[in-house]
Structure formats: structure tokens, C-alpha cells
Structure 1
Amino acid sequence: MSTRSPLKAGLVALATVFLAACGTTDTGSSSGNTDVATGGRLFATADEETAKLGSDAEQGAFPRTVTHALGETVIEKKPERVVVLDGGELDDVLSLGITPVGLASPESAAGQPSYLADKLAGVPDVGTTNNLNIEAITALQPDLILGSKLRADKLYPQLSSIAPTVFSIRPGFPWKENFLLAADALGEEAQAEEVLNAYQTRAGEVRDAITGEPTISLVRFMSGKIRLYGNLSFIGVILEDVGLPRPQVQDVDELAVEVSQETISQADGDRIFYSSYGAPETTDESAVVGGPLWNQLQAVKDGHAVHVSDETWFLALGPTGAMLVLDDLEKMLAA
């Protein structure tokens, strides 16, 4: 089993083959997320840079100044009309019991994630994550906009002229810190801590339900590429919190490692969980899963390769999605 600490940290940057990260801290924990943060938290966070962001205001007090990826934003009163610009921020606000007045749709899908659909009736779209409709956002008269530097860096001046705008560094990793940042902007710090404590308690329950330490391989088919997801990803953090080890090629402090159809043998593990980003016919999934190299993988021979929901395992990026992934892991791995 990996001895890597969940407090290893890094900023993710795209490289030719790797999506690499830098700047780590190792506390030497030996089994999942055993570090307990101060202040009554049952959970540890994964990225020091993002953990520095937020507000030092008294709990629930306004006005407050929130430090975020692009500076400081003053929020005069508790926000009531929130626009979210990505799936992570959407999951975050809904996990806090707040329905946004507008939201950006994923690039690869028509409409919003199905696992959140019952909470989003009548909420209008404001474009897609990479093609925001500034006029639509303005018309909603928001009093807070939540997004990320990675997605909408160039639009920040326009967005911040519409309403107080708070940006995380990037979506996905580190999702718990991003959730806490959103909660700071909303004045919901105490509720956020309760949500993450419940998540960590559930992660421990899942760990207790699993016999042994199966290595977990994560394969995601995308248009023109195949990724094996590493530790600096939404799902990688969840597996770390449960205490499930990874194959050596994926036990890396990077978002993902890219492989090809010809090198898909690197995807082997005791268990393989795979999905496609978008429609499978737009990726290599069918060709690979139906091909000879995939079917030579030991996990495939053992019947331990399972297709999972891309929108929860890879796109959810928040506590509600994380809890659904824990349910899936327990269902598929419990003795």
C-alpha cells in the first residue's frame, strides 16, 4: 500500500505527456487520510496553496474580504444570488443547500449533471464552462460569482465588474479546499466543515467494508487521448481518503498520465474503473475495450474491469459527487 501522505500538494500544469504538479509536503501517513486537521475537522486537505485562500472573518459575519486565486474580493453581505461557472462550484453550492440563479453547462454534455438534476429545475444556463455568456450572467443580477482561474482567467475583469467574483486556482484538485473557499464566500464555513466531516466518516466506513488492499486503476477515454488518473485529481483524492492503493504508474503526484491504445497494458491493476468523457463513440473506448490488449489485462480476465459514471467519478468535483463515488466503491469492492 502507498505510504504517500494526503497532504502532498502541488500546482497542476499541463505537460506533453504528464499533467504535472509541484511543491509537495509529506507527513508520512501510512493508511489513507489519517491526518486530522485542527479546529474539529475530521478531514485533511491536500494542497497548501489553495488552503491559504479564504477569509479570516468571524464565522458567518459580513462584510468580509475573501482572498482567492486572483486577489481579494470584498463581499458586503451574505450572497443570495449566486452564479457558478463549473461543475465543481455547482456541486459545492448545492452541497451547502444553496441553489444558484445561473450555471455554466459542461462542454461535453447537453444540460446539467443528472445526479443533481432534481435540484436544478428552472435554473438557467449562462453558456458553457469554456464559452460563458457574459450578457446572460449580467441579466441575472448575481451578488456572487464562483469559478476558477484555470477556466476563466481572462474573463475575470468583466465578471468582477458584474458582481463580487471569487476564483479557485483550478477545478477538481484540490476539491475540498475549493469547497471551503466557496463556503467562505457564502458565509457557510460551519456547514462546510460538517459536510466534509460526514464525507470523511463515510470514507472510513467504506474502507472498513473492503477486504484487503486492491490496487485501483482509473482509465478515462477522451477525444484523442487516454488518461490514467493520478493522485492530484478529484477521484485520486477520494481513493487516498479511503486508503486504497494505486498501480505504480498512477501513484504519482500528477493529475494524469497519458497512454495510447498500444500502451494500454499500463492500465492494469487489481480493479479497473473506466469511463468516457462525452459520448463513447467520440473516444477510443470501444476500440480499446473490444481489442486484444485490453482483454489480456488481468483485471479484465478476472471480471474486475467496470465502466463507471464519468459525471460523478471525474466531473462532479464536489462533496455530493464524492459521496456517490464512495457508495460506488463500497458496492463494487465490499466483501
Structure 2
Amino acid sequence: MMKLLRVSALMLLLPFGFVGSVLAQQPAYPIVIDHALGRTVIDRKPERVATVAWANHEVPLALGIVPVGMAAANFGDDDGDGVLPWVAEALDALGGEPPVLFDEGDGIDFEAVAATDPDVILAAYSGISQSDYEILSQIAPVVAYPKAPWSTEWREMIRLNSVALGMGSEGDALIAGIEADIAKAVAAHPDLAGKTAMFVTHVDPLDLSRISFYTDNDTRVQFFKDLGLTSPRAVVETSKSGVFSGSVSAERVDMFEDVDIVVTYGDEGTIERLSANALLSTLPAIRNKAIVALGRDPLGTAANPTPLGIPWVLDDYLALLSDAAGKAE
């Protein structure tokens, strides 16, 4: 059972005595934010905040603001209510009117977003298209990703979204608080220091002829660095091209001989299939079952770090990685 960490938004993560000082630092308007899809101008402090895509709502929640609308969770939502457990805790702690949940199974629900009458729309971590951005911009100012779809590192997501809220200083303090949580947790697992980890994308049990993996440009692999892990040579080389994933024939499995830990989505059956494969089992990490298999549950979302999700699942994720490291040669 994962330990429930009570999230009391801003007050939980800001240093004592900081709240009063940052509240006195009122930002100058208009706020101008340049991003990959254009330039957003925010003329006044937003009061009604809507968010789209994955986890952007966690920034206002962590800063004490309940969004008027946000995307329903579509991964890791084990109870089917569209809200991940750490988000539910933040909403309970803050109280107030619950946000409208946008169903994004078929893309952005523009009508639902418009119906919430937002002053700003946060999408710093998202995959919205130029067309999506232009339509959303007719509703309210939109903050998109700084470089490429689904590539915004968690710190940058907090920075962009918090600045859009007129709370840039509070956002910096939120980042510092999370970094302190990570540092404390990682210190308890010195066995991970210097270990190499590779994140294998979803394993197809019917076709193990290829090895597909995320590169250093993906947020899941970027999180490895926060946890003291490094990438193997093949992942580093593939990352230089700017792509977010790579794929090679299983016959080239020797490319990954320096991998200490394999992380993927799956279960014990996935581990057994990988270990039984004639080619893949030649890798020390797989032969020794130094594998972390993440399910479609809240813990599985630990792979993709988010402001409220990190402290909630950090200890459990590190424990799994540490267990795998203990099996590595």
C-alpha cells in the first residue's frame, strides 16, 4: 500500500515565512510568454484557470488554486473517477467548487473548455497542435510548450504555468520544495548512484523482435537523472538526433550491454517473457531480472513526473528501482 502524502498545496511546499514575502511581490502586467506556438499576453491576474492535457492542473493546485476545468486522467486512474489520488487529495484540502473534467479521449473538448469561461488556459506540458492553440486562444490566453510536444520537463512546466498565473516566485519555491523532497529520498538509495537505466516502451508479447526505448529527450528518462541514474551509451547516441524514442532489431541487443536497469510498462508476465526470450535474455539486466514493470495504476504514473505526483510516489518508485539495482551485475 503506497503511503498517502497529504498535499496541502502551496503551504505544504513553500518554506516557512515565504508566503507573505512572495504575496507582496506583485508581477507587472502585461505578462508576455513566448512558446513554440506563438506569444501569449496576459493582461491581468487570472481568476478562472482552465488546463488541458496531462498534469498542467497540478501547478495551480500546488499553488492553492482550484481550476474551473481540467483534463480527466486517462492513465493510472484505477478507480475510474478521472482524478488521480494526489490530485484528489489536493482538491479535498483546498475545498471549493470541484473543477469540470474535460474528456480528451478524442482530443481537446473545445466547447467544454469554453463553457468554463476561463481567464487563462494552461498547456505547458501538452501535445496541442497549432490549430488547437488557435482555437483555444479564441477562448482565453493559452500557454503552450516551450519547444516541442510532450517534451516539457517538470520544472519548466511549473515555471511557465506559474508565471501565467502571476505566481512566478511561488512557482520557483514549489520547484525548490520538490527538489528537496527528491534529494532527501534519493539519499536513502545510494545504490542507484551511477547506475544506467533504459526505459523500454510498451512491450508487445507477440513481437519481441525489436527493442523500442525512450531517449534522453523524453520526460520519463529525464526523471532518471533526478534519481541519480544515467543513460546507457546507445540511448545517449540516439538522443543526439532530437528524437524522443528509438527502435532497433533485437538482433542488435548487444548495444545495450551496459544497461543496469530496465524500466517498462507491464507486469510479472512481462518480466518473464523478456527473461525467456533467447536474444533479449543475453542482456545482463534482463537475464538477472533487474527490471521494473510499471502497471496502469497510480504508481505507473511515477514514470512521468508531475508536481503533485512526485512526492506522492517517489519513495515507492525509488524502492522498485533500488530492488532492480540490487539484481544488476
Tell me if TM exceeds 0.5: yes
Query: Matched residue of 2:235: which SS?
Result: coil
Residues 99 and 265 from structure 1, CA distance in 2 versus in 1: closer, same or farther, beyond 3 angstroms?
farther
Residues 82 and 257 from structure 1, CA distance in 2 versus in 1: closer, same or farther, beyond 3 angstroms?
same
Find the aligned partners of 1:87 and 1:265 in 2 and give their Cα distance: 35
> Which contiguous aligned blocks of 4+ residues in structure 1 show a shift greater than 6 angstroms?
222-225
Find the aligned partners of 1:106 and 1:286 in 2 and give their Cα distance: 30
When normalised by structure 2's length, the TM-score is 0.68
Conserved 8 A contact 2:100-2:116:
no
Find the aligned partners of 2:29 and 2:173 in 1 and give their Cα distance: 23
Query: Matched residue of 2:33: which SS?
Result: strand
Residues 275 and 191 from structure 1, CA distance in 2 versus in 1: closer, same or farther, beyond 3 angstroms?
same
Output the amino acid matched with 1:78: K
Conserved 8 A contact 1:238-1:322:
no
Matched, 1:102 2:69: yes
Residue of structure 2 aligned with 1:79, choices 46, 49, 52: 46
Residue of structure 1 aligned with 2:218, choices 220, 226, 233: 233
| 1:263-286 superposed Cα distances (whole Å, 9 cap, x missing partner) | 56655521222115xxx8xxx988
173-182 vs 65-74, which deviates more?
A: 65-74
Shift of 1:315: 3.9
Query: Matched residue of 1:307: which SS?
Result: strand
State the superposition RMSD in angstroms.
3.4
Query: Matched residue of 1:319: which SS?
Result: coil
Aligned residues: 271
Residue of structure 1 aligned with 2:34, choices 45, 68, 72: 68
Q: Which residue of 2 aligns with 1:157?
A: 134
Query: Matched residue of 2:144: which SS?
Result: strand
Residue of structure 1 aligned with 2:289, choices 296, 303, 316: 303
| 1:21-73 superposed Cα distances (whole Å, 9 cap, x missing partner) | xxxxxxxxxxxxxxxxxxxxxxxxxxxxxxxxxxxxx9443533221323333
Q: Which residue of 2 aligns with 1:5?
A: none
Shift of 1:118: 3.7
Bigger share in strand: 1
| 1:54-105 superposed Cα distances (whole Å, 9 cap, x missing partner) | xxxx944353322132333332332222211111313333332332221224
Q: Which residue of 2 aligns with 1:221?
A: 202
Find the aligned partners of 2:169 and 2:251 in 1 and give their Cα distance: 49
When normalised by structure 1's length, the TM-score is 0.67
Residue of structure 2 aligned with 1:93, choices 44, 56, 60: 60
**Paired residues for 1:37-56 under 5 Å:** none
Shift of 1:307: 1.0
Find the aligned partners of 2:123 and 2:59 in 1 and give their Cα distance: 11
Shift of 1:143: 1.2
Find the aligned partners of 2:316 and 2:180 in 1 and give their Cα distance: 16
